[in-house]
Amino acid sequence: MALADFDFSTPDLFSVVRDSYLSDNGLFARRDPTYGFHFVIADAAFYDLEVFEVTGSTFSGTAAEASTADGLRVVINGPKYSVPLFGDTTSSGPIIQDGRAHDSYVKMDSYYIGKMPGRGIDVYSVGRAQSTAILDPRDAPGTEFSHAVGSLVPLLHDGIPFGISNMSDDARITQIANTGLAGEWFPYFAPKGKPIYGLHRSKRLLFFLAQKDATLPGIQIEPLLKLLVEHNVSDAVIGDGSDSVGLVVDGVAEITPWPGKNATIPWGLALRLAAPVVKTGSTTITDTSDSSLAPYIGAPLDPGAAADFKWTAAGLQVTVQSLGGGFDASTFHLSELPVILTAVSGKDLAEEVTLQSSDGLFEIVCAMDAGASDRGTIIGTFSIFESTGAGLAVVCRGTLSWPLT
């Protein structure tokens, strides 16, 4: 099923997508009707970018078969690669998958995109390779990637586009010289295939852009860069283009590489839905009007059952199985547990978000502390109410700190 059309040049596109369209489990996949390319935007709080290994006979077949399994939703082709006369196909790399490096050559002055352990936009890094080693520590000091690909051509870094020479305006750099690699993408005439991977840090979004080779009219790099700058994109890099471009979304091959490439592409990049699941490990009562709960004020409740976060058409949703400590629903004057709470708009956990049950008797105000653990921790407050003749009265109020699992 072909993707629906949506204009990539829509003003403030990433804000529009963030505020209004991230209802498909935090993912937005469309085709631009003006230029003919496809693009996918995903919430970094709910999706992990990972390296995808092609283990079957074709890239598109392997990706389609794997897509939709265990949350894997999108696969795009990766960096350039070589096909030797004898031996295995090799990437121009580097490739790091699940923390394991695959030996390959790193082109000097090329760029990489990588993901460190954890969740959210801050665990992603885009930078310039300083050596021909596998992500030499000089490339990204203090980082340890779980997934990364290199030998990529930069388009933007920290919001500044690349070009043939350095340019500045009032002492502010407006273009970065790309002397080593600019020649590789300036000849990319409009119809030529282009796979692009990028980050929008302020909106906390990941995105892929894929243009099939020989697309008409297509888009040249310069006007595409102009659009990315207008959209305040932070970083963008380009992988193996031309007839190598492939894109699979939810099991459907939206773009299939040329057969010879489809049979030899070794790696791709994927977006996997990994909605947070938490253990209610610390839920502390700080205030209560119920005398039976008074002894527990200031004391953490014992770990309870899991709670899960996910996207729905209405926004963010959390299902709370228990607050722990053996407290059942009647303790808090709730009708039942588990209870489902839903946010009124599609915001991710990097912002403070308010979730309420449909009856208004349970409320959580929370955000994600990305640095609190490897995968982050949901922190915030909860309030439980009961209905009285005079309206809602607080039964219990407290704090929560729930590590992601």
Per-residue pLDDT of the chain (405 residues; tens, 9 = 90+): 589 999 999 999 998 888 777 767 889 999 999 999 999 999 888 899 999 999 999 999 999 999 877 779 999 999 888 776 555 665 556 788 887 877 555 555 678 899 988 778 888 999 887 654 545 444 554 457 889 888 888 899 999 887 665 666 666 665 666 655 544 555 568 899 999 999 999 998 999 999 999 999 999 888 999 999 999 999 999 999 999 999 999 999 999 999 999 999 999 999 998 877 777 667 888 888 888 777 778 777 665 667 788 777 667 888 887 766 666 666 666 667 788 898 877 677 777 889 999 888 889 999 888 765 566 788 999 998 888 888 888 888 989 888 877
Residues contacting residue 9 through CB under 8 Å, at least 6 positions apart? 32, 34, 227
Whether the model clears a pTM of 0.75, i.e. scores above it, the answer is: yes
| Residue 38 · residue 255 · CB < 8 Å | yes
What are the angstrom distances between the C-alpha of 190 and each of 97, 194, 195, 218, 220? 32, 9, 13, 5, 4
From the CB of residue 147, how many other CB atoms can be counted at a distance below 10 Å? 23
Identify the CA nearest to 295 among candidates 285, 308, 305: 285
Q: Between vectors from CA 19 to CA 16 and to CA 24, what angle results, nearest 5°?
A: 95
| Residue 393 · residue 378 · CB < 8 Å | no
In whole angstroms, what is the distance from residue 367 CA to residue 379 CA? 6
Q: Between vectors from CA 13 to CA 7 and to CA 16, what angle results, nearest 5°?
A: 110
Beta strand 47-53 pairing with 252-255? unpaired
